[in-house]
């Protein structure tokens, strides 16, 4: 099963990446009658990856009964039934997901699990309902985004009319946009880059969080649109970075939207290989990934695994393990972030040139 087909499961368990839970429970665990949704998600994932659609459907139905207010569970059942060849069941569950508020129209459009049912008479209506949900969610997120726009820091002497590299930095769980200018300002200035720092729209303690990669993708799109209205940016030299929860989100969006970024710098972010393993890198245009983590950080092993898996998938990868450092930014912040930024930005042709070469365009 292709890794990208499992992107939907990230909505359920990406937060587990920060607790160190990375073991998939065997499918036979369904016999135990456990009622922990997180455990059942692992069982579901194991069955899904094994192509055991009957087992996956059985577990999926149990998850729906335990968490009926989460439409993504119904969406996943639609995918399982579609893979099993039960088109009527698949479209029925997709319609139920839409009725419950499922809004991830981008995932619906690209998910190969559903390719076998797209011609079903009921598919178009269900997809249209998902599109309407997406428009509603985007409007809500856009209102909150407008109320708290990103912070923008341009290097000294920057000419706003001349395209400059762009660094988009995502804060961690419970963080705030205004925590980050001092951390990234020096490295961005050295690269002559504009720094933009959006803020999550979900309250988390005294700060904010990223609800999930799907909502974060909306905020990223709004951030890029907003930034283009403020300054000229070099579209071939955009780097996405984030710390902790923001690091995981940066990694996920770098895989999901590779055409946007020259490089991605995930810092101290979680990683579950059975869920987050990347698809094979495109022959051209794939972003570089610079993974950074402290040697004493609880996610250090997961980050090492992420770097290995991304390299195996064909991405240009560098791993920086900071000695004697826990879950924090590097002590020599400017030096370390500058090294990461040089790697993320340099050494390859602009993405527009790569894409023209790949298509034979001039």
Phi-psi region of 344 (alpha: psi -120 to 50; beta: other; left: phi over 0): alpha
- Under CATH, which architecture does the 3-142 domain have? Alpha Horseshoe (1.25)
- Residues 266/197, Cβ–Cβ less than 8 Å: no
Tokens representing 189? 């200035």
Is it the case that residue 36 has pLDDT exceeding 90? no
Burial class of residue 119 in the structure, from the number of CB atoms within 10 Å of its CB (0-12 exposed, 13-18 middle, 19+ buried): exposed
Q: Among 20-29, 50-59, 196-205, 246-255, where is mean pLDDT lowest?
A: 20-29
pLDDT tier for residue 12 given thresholds of 50, 70 and 90: very low
pLDDT of res. 43: 92
- pLDDT band of residue 32 (cuts 50, 70, 90) is very low
pTM of the predicted model, to two decimals? 0.76
Nearest residue to 201 (alpha-carbon basis) of 217, 189, 183, 225: 217
| 3-class secondary-structure state, position 346 | coil
φ and ψ at residue 53, rounded to 5 degrees? -70, -35
Specify the DSSP element, H or E, that contains 73. helix 71-84
Which candidate, 184, 207, 206, places its Cα nearest to that of 344?
A: 184
**In the chain, where does the domain assigned CATH 3.40.50.1820 lie?**
148-359
The pLDDT value given to residue 71: 95
- 155-173: per-residue pLDDT in tens? 989 898 999 999 999 999 9
Alpha-carbon radius of gyration of the chain: 21
Q: Residue 34: what pLDDT?
A: 66
Which CATH number describes the domain made up of 148-359? 3.40.50.1820
Neighbours of 256 (CB within 10 A): 21
The tally of CA atoms less than 13 A away on the side-chain side of residue 154 is: 15
Q: 233 - beta bridge partners? A: 164
- Across the chain, mean pLDDT equals 87
Q: What is the pLDDT of residues 71-89, one digit of tens each?
A: 999 999 999 999 999 999 9
Q: Where in the chain is the domain with CATH 1.25.40.10?
A: 3-142
How buried is 342 (Cβ within 10 angstroms: 0-12 exposed, 13-18 middle, 19+ buried)? Answer: middle
Q: What is the pLDDT of residue 360?
A: 37
């Amino acid at each position: 099963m292709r890794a990208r087909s499992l992107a939907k499961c990230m909505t359920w368990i990406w937060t587990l990446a920060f607790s160190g839970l990375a073991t998939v429970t065997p499918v036979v665990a369904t016999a135990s009658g456990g009622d922990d949704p997180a455990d059942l998600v692992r069982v579901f994932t194991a069955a899904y990856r094994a192509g055991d659609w009957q087992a996956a459907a059985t577990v999926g139905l149990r998850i729906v009964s335990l968490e009926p207010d989460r439409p993504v569970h119904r969406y996943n059942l639609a995918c399982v039934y579609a893979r099993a060849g039960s088109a009527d069941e698949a479209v029925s569950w997709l319609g139920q997901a839409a009725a419950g508020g499922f809004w991830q129209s981008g995932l619906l459009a690209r998910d190969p699990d559903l390719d076998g049912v797209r011609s079903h008479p009921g598919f178009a209506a269900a997809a249209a309902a998902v599109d309407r949900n997406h428009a509603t969610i985007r409007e809500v997120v856009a209102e909150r985004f407008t109320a708290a726009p990103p912070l923008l820091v341009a290097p000294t002497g920057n000419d706003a009319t001349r395209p400059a590299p762009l660094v988009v930095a995502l804060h961690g769980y419970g963080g705030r946009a205004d925590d980050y200018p001092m951390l990234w300002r020096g490295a961005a200035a050295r690269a002559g880059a504009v720094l933009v720092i959006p803020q999550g729209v979900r309250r988390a303690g005294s700060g904010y969080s990223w609800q999930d990669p799907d909502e974060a993708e909306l905020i990223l799109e709004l951030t890029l649109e907003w930034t283009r209205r403020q300054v000229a940016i070099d579209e071939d030299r955009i780097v996405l970075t984030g710390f902790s929860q923001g690091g995981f989100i940066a990694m996920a969006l770098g895989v999901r939207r590779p055409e946007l970024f020259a490089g991605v710098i995930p810092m101290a972010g979680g990683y579950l290989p059975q869920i987050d393993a990347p698809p094979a890198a495109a022959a051209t245009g794939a972003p570089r990934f610079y993974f950074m983590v402290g040697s004493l950080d609880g996610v250090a092993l997961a980050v090492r695994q992420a770097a290995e898996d991304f390299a195996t998938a064909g991405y240009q990868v560098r791993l920086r393990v900071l000695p004697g450092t826990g879950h924090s930014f590097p002590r020599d912040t400017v030096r370390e972030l500058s090294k990461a930024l040089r790697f993320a930005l340099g050494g390859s042709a602009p993405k527009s040139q790569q894409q023209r070469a790949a298509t034979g365009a001039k």
